[in-house]
Homo-oligomer: A and B are copies of this chain.
């Protein structure tokens, strides 16, 4: 059994991680820490978990194999500096502190579809961002094959859980329901990690991405429409994608048009390709809290600990 500690236990990603690990046959949550809720039952925050027997507590770093950092972006580094953690404890950071090459140190960017072998040997993982995961998986085969043009347009629609737990005007139900709006137009912080990951793919051209993030009126799920102009044929491109993901259990290339809810509450990424003249649409959809956060973190844990990559991750979709 892999022994787990979770820091930052009161947030959304920690909640999802806890739900996943409570059902994981090879993992055991030893500690889930939250300063603001120390001593309380986890259901005081993650109210569905009334049925389990887990309380927020401090972490004994000597008694765990893996530490998950589920803190707000920019806090992980300070946490690692402030705590002395035994060398043999593996760390998976769900924040963005160590994703970019300039910050990474020995942290490996944890996208298994690009770096599975590296991840298996890594001690420290920087878990990718949610939009980044969706867009990278959508573009990687095309870029790696040298078929990407210089310019790409992406409109990505995300659920309210992407904005975190804190109530704000933009996550107020009265505003959000039946509504749509853009944010961080062309300037989303994930663009940097997307650029680095695509560059690693080996393709000659790393496209300049015009990325418009949209606030959708749903809670979970990212749906990215990636528009590209290319002369390559649809058959050629489909073949490319199917080959690229043939050995990756969590990415499915669908011949039929896809719906976001096919992946909601799962660790899958579903991809669809369509073409008309020189216009290519790549649609890539994930659950932002799973393949876009906590599910991918468990996938990385599985790889780091020598478990089956899918262990504990074959989740019942919430299809309706």
Chain A positions within 8 Å of B, measured between CB atoms, are 12, 15-16, 19-20, 22-23, 25, 46-51, 151, 153, 155, 157, 159-161, 165, 167-169, 171-183, 185-187, 210, 212, 214, 216-221, 223, 225, 227, 229, 249, 252, 254, 256-266, 268, 270, 272, 274-277, 279, 281, 283, 285, 289, 314-320
Given A19-B317, A173-B176, 20 more pairs with CB closer than 8 A = A49-B317, A50-B254, A50-B262, A157-B157, A157-B180, A159-B178, A161-B174, A165-B174, A167-B168, A171-B174, A173-B177, A180-B259, A180-B260, A181-B257, A185-B274, A186-B274, A186-B277, A187-B276, A216-B216, A265-B318
- Chain B residue numbers with a CB within 8 Å of A276 are 185-187
Q: Is B316 a contact partner of A23 (Cβ separation < 8 A)?
A: yes
Q: Is B319 a contact partner of A316 (Cβ separation < 8 A)?
A: no
Of B51, B210, B275, which contacts A252 at CB under 8 A?
B51
- Chain B residue numbers with a CB within 8 Å of A185 are 257, 274, 276, 281
Question: A178-B178, A264-B178 are contacts. A50–B270 as well, Cβ < 8 Å?
Answer: yes
7 nearest A-B residue pairs (beta carbon): A167-B167, A186-B276, A155-B155, A48-B317, A173-B176, A160-B173, A178-B218
- Chain B residue numbers with a CB within 8 Å of A25 are 25
- Chain B residue numbers with a CB within 8 Å of A22 are 314
Question: A186-B274, A212-B225, A261-B178 are contacts. A220–B155 as well, Cβ < 8 Å?
Answer: no
- Chain B residue numbers with a CB within 8 Å of A49 are 317
- Chain B residue numbers with a CB within 8 Å of A181 are 223, 257-260
CB distance from A191 to the nearest CB of B (A): 10
Question: A19-B319, A48-B263 are contacts. A221–B252 as well, Cβ < 8 Å?
Answer: no
- Chain B residue numbers with a CB within 8 Å of A172 are 160, 165, 167, 171-173
Q: Is A220 a contact partner of B186 (Cβ separation < 8 A)?
A: no
Of B220, B258, B320, which contacts A289 at CB under 8 A?
B320
CB distance from A27 to the nearest CB of B (A): 13
Q: Is B179 a contact partner of A316 (Cβ separation < 8 A)?
A: no
Least CB separation from A169: chain B residue: B167
- Chain B residue numbers with a CB within 8 Å of A274 are 182, 185-186
Q: Is A320 a contact partner of B174 (Cβ separation < 8 A)?
A: yes
CB distance from A305 to the nearest CB of B (A): 20
CB distance from A267 to the nearest CB of B (A): 10
CB distance from A207 to the nearest CB of B (A): 13
In the complex, 17 of the A-B residue pairs with CB atoms within 8 angstroms, ordered by the A residue number, are A16-B316, A23-B314, A46-B319, A47-B258, A155-B227, A167-B171, A171-B174, A173-B217, A175-B259, A177-B219, A178-B264, A179-B261, A186-B274, A214-B223, A264-B318, A315-B315, A318-B318
Least CB separation from A44: chain B residue: B256
CB distance from A13 to the nearest CB of B (A): 11
Least CB separation from A289: chain B residue: B320
